[in-house]
Amino acid sequence: MNRLALVTGAARGIGRAIAERLAADGFTVVAADRDLPDAADGITPIRLDVTDRLAVKAALTGLDRPVDVLVNNAGVYSDRPFMELTEADFEAMLAVNLMGVFIVSQEVLRSMPDGGRIVTVSSRSYLGARNMGHYGASKAAVVALTRTMAIEFADRDIAVNAIAPGLVETSILDQLTPERRADLARLQPTGRLGQPQDIAAAAAYLAAPATQFITGQVLIVDGGKSLGGVWM
């Protein structure tokens, strides 16, 4: 029987690419999102709000077997100068980006077989970024939660790791002009922006059975941008 993977935030963008990659690698994939994802070969879509614990419990009960691989990708994003941030901005960001990861991981771990995998999608902004105090803080908290789970579930051979994407070509960038995109691409050592498939490749690697000895790590996938000016 194929291993079962649950991918949250899988209606589009990075989450959809991860779901498609895992399906291509032979996983049976459940693609979850508040907006119902499209069905495809190897991919079963479900509607799910990761902040609703009862809904998460019900969704997991409806599966025909426990989840072997969980990819916590669901998240929200906005940018705002620090002095303009409000408590509501922080609460909205933390509710999905952090509490969603906590709720889904906790419920999945109740029945995840030994040797399972959890991959959380953080962001390079966990290192700090302008106008992203609330977003970066939520993603830094995801890294801390990832490392805690890695420690607590190591005795079950459950590897827990985070991916920290840099700038990736998703709908978030639709607001940018072609000129601004070109400027951002020139700042990358690789000379291009990331693609959802780049993040999907990292998720597939961390989901593979051979990576059990890799746990509690953050894999930054940003084309080398986190190197700063060193590469120039």
Residues 137 and 82: their CA atoms lie apart, in Å, by 12
H or E element at residue 165:
strand 159-165
Helix ranges (H only) for the chain are: 13-24, 53-61, 87-94, 100-109, 133-152, 178-186, 196-207
Confirm whether 135 is a catalytic residue.
Answer: yes
Give the active site residue among 77, 126, 135, 205.
Answer: 135
- Residue 71 Cα to chain centre, angstroms: 6
Bridge partners (DSSP) listed for residue 220: 164
Residues 160 and 116: their CA atoms lie apart, in Å, by 9
Tokens standing for residue 52: 């609703």
Sheet of 43-47, strands arranged across: 43-47, 28-33, 4-8, 69-72, 117-121, 159-165, 218-221
- CA Rg, the chain, in Å? 17
Using alpha carbons only, give the angle 70, 72, 74 rounded to the nearest 5 degrees: 140
Q: Which residues are catalytic?
A: 135
